[in-house]
Chains A and B, each alone.
Chain A
Amino acid sequence: AQSVAQPEDQVNVAEGNPLTVKCTYSVSGNPYLFWYVQYPNRGLQFLLKYITGDNLVKGSYGFEAEFNKSQTSFHLKKPSALVSDSALYFCAVRDPGGYNKLIFGAGTRLAVHP
């Protein structure tokens, strides 16, 4: 079965420091991977996707993600965190047999401290 794991419930980082939010996946075939961010009482905002090509994907708001096929990982990164980055982050994979169905991880809460 296809699945996504986000091993950390919460990540704490100081403003200005680099951040990493981890994601691993299990899916048959080539994965279509996504990162979304959710602010309180809001829907999900698309950050970036990996379909094929370069393993380092750049997205919105200075975020990037590194695809690693051998480790089946797709970690979200940012060189310098902002307090405004504090939110809930979701990694997702498209179900290979399910058209646009997304399978989400449990989410990681990012807290950036001043």
Chain B
Amino acid sequence: EIVLTQSPATLSLSPGERATLSCRASQSINYYLTWYQQKPGQAPRLLIYDASSRATGIPTRFSGGGSGTDFTLTISSLEPEDFAVYYCQQRANWPLTFGPGTKVDIK
């Protein structure tokens, strides 16, 4: 099973600031990395797939990068609605696995 670790666990930032979230895989997953956003009481929302492709309707302030074992999600300028938990997930091997999440909260 591929293990994903995310850092930091919590990121405290102000609106307008840049957020950089990291996800590391226990072995190479090529570019098969997906990012989701989840707000309390809601289902996850697809943001980025295959490391850097934005899903339909996702604002351009969200961008993803990386390959192999190290990946990043960048939010260029935080909007109030971006404060949430972000999960990475790999689809290189079964079983699919998620990282533990990074909470982006308001400083």
Chains A and B form a bound pair: no
Which residues from chain B sit less than 8 Å from chain A, CB to CB? none
Which residues from chain A sit less than 8 Å from chain B, CB to CB? none
